[in-house]
Amino acid sequence: MSIASLQCPQPIRHRLAVAPRDYARRDRAIESYEAGEYLTAVHETLGYLLPDIEIPDLAQAPLCFVQGSARVRVHIDDDSLVLSTALMALTPAAQSTAALRYVLTRLSATGQLFQPRLHDDTVSLEFRDRLSLLHPSKLAEVLQRMAMESDSNDGWLAHRFGVEASDREPVAPLDEAEFARALEIWNTHWTTVNELMQESRRRRSVRFLDALGSYAANQVRYTLPLFGSVRAALNESADAYTDKDENPNKRDSALAKCIKEMRQVPVEELRACLGNARFAINPLHEGTPSLLTSMLGAGHRMQTTGELRAVGRSLEAALELIADYLYLLADHSWPSEVEAALRGGLDLVSGKPWREAADALWNHANQTARVYGSHGERARDDEDDGDEDEIRYDA
Amino acid sequence: MTPELDLPIAAPQSLDDIERLGVYQVYTGTGTGSGFLIDANHLLTNCHVVQPYREVAIEMRDRSRIIGRVCRIHPHRDLAIVELARAVDGEVLALSDGEQLKPKQGVHILGFPVGLPLSLTEGVISHARQLLDEQYFLQTDAAINPGNSGGPMLDDQRRIIAVTTCKLNAADSVGFGIPIGDVRRFIDEFRAQKVPFGVQCPACEELIDRAVRYCPSCGSDLEANHEFGEYFETPEAHPLVSFVENALASADIDPVLARHGSHNWSFHVGSAPIKIWCCCSEHLNFSSPMAQAGNRGLNELFKFLLSAEHAPFAFDLVGSTVRLNLVVHISDVFAPSEYEYLAERVRAFIKKADATDNLLITQYGCQPAPETQTEYLKGGDHG
């Protein structure tokens, strides 16, 4: 094993400046809906989900908001609310049949309220329903999932099938210095993952594979502002190799294939898929004190990591801890002080030998959970300040 | 000559053709089970299969269903008799006298395990009179699965020796049947029954035809273990169930015939199969897997399927199967003022499913889906 430590580079991905959710506004939306004030309920739901957007009077003017590369349009038509977001336009040169099959197989489905629709040669995701049938939880679900699906698939469809991206929001590209650093992170990351992959195969440990898979996906998600075809390919592979219900041999193969494919991504394609997009709806989960406690606090998870340290298996312990920190940062939005604390943990261990990294991050995790977790000092302060049922950060 | 050939046993009846036997699948709003004919108009099954319903659906071999009215239940012994809406022609299996059962004798179990078509599993008698919870059972090592409940256990002469009722989850190959003696007595008493519905007292087995606290015959407290009055009441339906079943009734679909377990319904309208289910806590799905895409003209087919003209319905592809879907959010179910509007949407969905499978087959080169009732397809021979 030649690799002696992991680098935890600073992210190029911009920190999302999305205002925290105003849950009182969601509750007001539900009250309005139950009182039969449907338009007010829609307005409040939009305000709750899109905290940084000025919501117009939809009876008078439509709304368009941006989610990554997707533009989602909202308007009132008669007594119904209509949502739509264009996905692709078929062109004579495109592999239309394959693209349409993909849409019918992957984007059209039971269990979702919006569906793809074809108008002339343009495929959009659409939803329409009466205002009186728009409970805020239903509207919130459609807004979030439809916007996310559109943002996730537009670049993928264009790249894979040669269709034309339609009505897309341009994503600001990285400047040359940022791109050079991104390229270095990208190349170093996949070289490192490839080496750890050999170690995983040598050890034949499912637990090692779990940690490595999480690290492989979340290091990229955290550090690089990926979108389009490369992000879609990475996410599709990650779904396979991080699926703990799947056969470990299949997961191993999926990770090996992913490493190979990611290392072969042409530089220009990677450049075209890197840029900091705008998101009207927070695309990340909201981090909670209880999540910090369950991941980093005293419990089965940390206990088993601690056992690895105790028996000298520092590489596994360090990899698990780093992967957990990256997962918390990549998939969740946090108040700035929590995010800084988590980032501080990675700074502490970046480039450090395995044993030192495992010990330092173990102590840091315990400290972070103690301060910011659900039973932590910070949470207790919050409880003293108010009588909320649920502990929330007030960032 | 081997000694066995000299034994005076009856010639074994063949179990090669189980399809003609009078064993049918029972559908309710809580699950599915098995049952067998005791005559052309009556089916015997487990009490837990039909409870808490007084009307259930019985599926015939051609997948049509008929209503069954529950006439008699014995909750303690887990037996029930259902009167069928019409006579059926499946073979009525003979009841064994049950006297000669011994360990290692062969057992053949008929039923519908995990909702699969009629299946036969085999094993031996592990114990002919196993005492469990103060009742005797026939114990067998033959495979028993959910859905087998209420089906017959047969001996090598194809006579019923017990009624499948349960198995031990914590053990392998430990299944139980209600001994034929108890079954025979239950049937005999039913033959003499004068009331349309009755429940047997768990203590004295006297038939009780109304909700009472104490058994009129033996004075036992009938509510000691169960709310006895519930046997005489229609269970209160979940709002989601009320919504679906009212919408189906408004489309002239009998909801009892459509029930397919908890929050699941399935039925055919014309040629089109229709399934209704909840995939999560948020969505109620209506779906018709109506056809299978062919190999040619797919671009035109896919454009048709994605056309905006189908809204609020939508097609999708699962493998090569084309499905028409309608998704209702669970919050809609709690908007009673919109019921009629939504019921109209459900009716339109059912009508469109019935009409569109023909269109896909005749105009877009599709084949019928495995569950399509091809005899109802219009416009040519569809195999």
pLDDT in the model for residue A376: 59
B106-178 fold = Thrombin, subunit H (2.40.10)
pLDDT in the model for residue A392: 37
Interface probe, candidates B278, B305, B344, chain A, greatest A C-beta count within 10 A: B305
Q: What is the CATH number of the domain that holds A30?
A: 3.30.1460.10
Is the residue at A16 inside a domain? Answer: no
Mean pLDDT on B350-377: 86
Chain B residues in contact with A135 (beta carbon < 8 A): 329, 331-332, 334-335
Say whether both A307 and A240 belong to one domain. no
Cβ of B154: how many Cβ atoms within 10 Å? 26
Structure-model confidence comparison of residues B100 and B49, the more confident one: B49
Point out the domain boundary residue: A131, A165, A199.
Answer: A165
Residue type, B351: K
**In chain B, which segments carry CATH 3.30.1460.10?**
239-376
pLDDT in the model for residue A377: 62
Token pair, residue B13, equals 């009846």
- Given a cut of 80, is residue B34 above it in pLDDT? yes
Which helix H or strand E contains A72, and what residues bound it? Answer: strand A70-77
Say whether both A151 and A63 belong to one domain. yes
Distance from CA of A60 to the nearest CA of B (A): 25
pLDDT in the model for residue A387: 40
- The answer to whether the Cα torsion of A6, A13, A168, B309 is positive or negative is positive
Are the beta carbons of A170 and A278 closer than 8 angstroms? no
Which helix H or strand E contains B160, and what residues bound it? Answer: strand B160-167
Distance from CA of A89 to the nearest CA of B (A): 13
Instruction: Tally C-beta pairs within 8 A across A and B.
Output: 93
With an 8 Å Cβ cutoff, are A100 and B331 in contact? no
pLDDT in the model for residue A159: 86
Shortest CA distance to B359 belongs to which of B287, B318, B305, B321? B305
Distance from CA of A132 to the nearest CA of B (A): 8
Domain limits for position A289: 285-385
In this prediction, residue B9 has a pLDDT band, given cuts at 50, 70 and 90, of very low
pLDDT in the model for residue A155: 81
B239-376 fold = Yope Regulator; Chain: A, (3.30.1460)
Q: What is the ipTM of this complex?
A: 0.84
Alpha helices in chain A (DSSP H): 23-34, 38-49, 96-102, 136-161, 176-203, 206-223, 228-241, 248-263, 267-272, 289-296, 300-310, 314-331, 336-349, 354-372, 377-385
Distance from CA of A82 to the nearest CA of B (A): 12
Say whether both A137 and A116 belong to one domain. yes
Shortest CA distance to B89 belongs to which of B60, B55, B64, B110? B60
| Distant-in-sequence, close-in-space partners of A380: CB < 8 Å, separation ≥ 6 | none
Point out the domain boundary residue: A165, A184, A199.
Answer: A165
B368, β-bridge pairs = B291
Q: pLDDT tens, position by position, for chain A (395 residues)? A: 578 899 999 999 998 776 778 899 999 999 999 999 999 999 999 999 998 899 999 999 999 999 999 999 999 999 999 999 999 999 999 999 999 999 999 999 999 999 999 999 999 999 999 999 999 999 999 999 999 999 998 888 988 899 998 899 999 999 999 999 999 999 999 999 999 999 999 988 999 999 999 999 999 999 999 998 899 999 999 999 999 999 999 999 999 999 999 999 999 999 999 999 999 999 999 899 999 999 999 888 888 888 998 898 999 999 999 999 999 999 999 999 999 999 999 999 999 999 999 999 999 999 999 999 986 565 555 544 444 333 334 33
Interface probe, candidates A133, A143, A146, A149, chain B, greatest B C-beta count within 10 A: A133
For chain A, the domain total comes to 3
**In chain B, which segments carry CATH 2.40.10.10?**
106-178
Cα–Cα–Cα angle for A86, A285, A380, rounded to 5 degrees: 155
Say whether both A80 and A157 belong to one domain. yes
Mean pLDDT estimate for chain B: 91
With an 8 Å Cβ cutoff, are B311 and A117 in contact? yes
Q: Give chain B's contact residues with A (Cβ, < 8 Å).
A: 279-280, 282-283, 285, 287, 298-299, 302-303, 305-308, 311-312, 314-318, 323, 325, 327, 329, 331-332, 334-335, 337-338, 341-342
